[in-house]
A = this chain, B = another copy of it.
């Protein structure tokens, strides 16, 4: 009975001159016949030797093909009995749905974030927080990845060190020195992006019931991340030049918060920066109330310099005594490398490295080696300049178009990828209508820790240049 299925397996279908290897031809052909039920589930396959003889190929080729078919779930190997066609456990699922998922009960953070991960065309996502892929330097990332993987194949086999790839931390020391923050490699801990850095810091400093201050508005994902830790998230109104200091002092006295998370530079969602005077006062208030400041500087490399916008980092003033500095490369290099970092006092950095070990052991070296390579190759600086110039080229024109539609935008500090636009109406309603038109908007309510309806929304000037976006806005607002 061994060879009953033989004539239907792959006879006459192998082609030595094809671009495809004989092994892959066998795999493809046998798989197709199993899918089409020409080979019946549970049936025994020809022996290696019989198959090889029948098709004039080597036994080695058949072994390799059978192995792949086993790995892909088409065949199973029974010791001593041969190979059998397997009953497959369910059909493969379709790929990630491309459509925007309808919000279940109005909008919420999870809804927005989930939709940001869908594969929508970038031009139709004015609500996104990242630059379109074609703005990034894919060639540099690919080149660095090839370089890194060519050099040492066994770097991947070990765990690496919990604190992160040392040469990257040395390179980050130089980068931090450029913004006047002195931090040795022992003060730096790599993380899987700023998201993980915030999670680690919040877990280090808070217990359930503690309060964390954030700006209002601010980056929405952290509200949910902190709430999941059982902490209370309280917003400090953010004015054009930084937080409302009187309110900050009041909230500090009232809640005795453990942390205050702040973007000093290119604040998300307004793209404005902290004035030097406010930076100084924020540090004094934090010191008075024993609050640790967490400075999220993820948009660092999009900052146009102090001639256009203030550029005072809290960590530059305080030198990482009461300030923890976070940044990363998801926005300006490549999000999927998942490379971010924390800079802190030596003692705190050691504690955070231990904590990282308990949460996730180590982060992968690959991404860290790629970022290291790109940073020390010298092309990144010009890439960042190009991105800034491209944003500058779009900003004034886009703002004029928006103003023509009646939106109000404060452009005293023109920089970054976001504009924070007052639409004069509830932007939750606008976002729901946009969703129906296949466009993703980020309504102001998302950026507030109490999620109240807002007339403002965040627009990404790099991701709204499509005519469909403007048609929608004109129809709704003009």
Question: Hey, which bits of chain A sit against chain B, CB under 8 A?
Answer: 64, 67-73, 89-90, 92-93, 95-96, 110, 113-114, 116-117, 130, 133, 136, 138-139, 141-142, 145-146, 149, 153-162, 166, 170-171, 173-174, 177, 182, 184-186, 192-193, 195-196, 199, 203, 207-208, 221, 224-225, 228, 230, 330, 334-338, 354-355, 357-367, 375-382
Contacts and interface: CB of A to CB of B under 8 A. Distances in A.
A358 B208 contact: no
Contact of A378 (B71, B157, B379): B71
Given A133-B154, A156-B141, A228-B203, A93 B195 contact: no
Given A141-B157, A230-B207, A184 B93 contact: yes
Given A71-B376, A117-B159, A193 B361 contact: yes
A174 B117 contact: no
27 contacts: A64-B378, A67-B382, A71-B381, A72-B171, A72-B174, A73-B174, A89-B174, A89-B182, A90-B184, A93-B186, A96-B161, A96-B166, A116-B159, A117-B159, A130-B159, A138-B156, A138-B157, A145-B149, A158-B336, A195-B360, A196-B359, A196-B360, A199-B360, A208-B230, A221-B361, A364-B366, A366-B367
A289 to B, nearest CB: 24
Contacts of A338: 360-364
B117 A225 contact: no
A453 to B, nearest CB: 23
Contacts of A381: 67, 70-71
A275 to B, nearest CB: 23
A386 to B, nearest CB: 13
Contacts of A113: 357
Nearest to A335: B159
Contacts of A357: 110, 113-114, 221
Contacts of A376: 68, 71-72
A85 to B, nearest CB: 14
A177 B89 contact: yes
A157 B130 CA distance: 10
Given A68-B377, A203-B228, A225-B358, 5 more contacts: A93-B186, A136-B157, A141-B156, A199-B359, A208-B230
Contacts of A199: 358-360
Contacts of A68: 376-378
Given A93-B185, A381-B67, A117 B162 contact: yes
A358 B157 contact: no
Nearest to A71: B378
A366 B184 contact: no
B377 A365 contact: no
A228 B207 CA distance: 10
A203 B362 CA distance: 19
Given A376-B71, A378-B71, A336 B156 contact: yes
Contacts of A337: 156, 364, 366
B359 A225 contact: yes
Contacts of A207: 208, 230
A71 B195 CA distance: 26
A179 to B, nearest CB: 12
Given A96-B161, A366-B364, A376-B68, A358 B221 contact: yes
Contacts of A89: 173-174, 177, 182
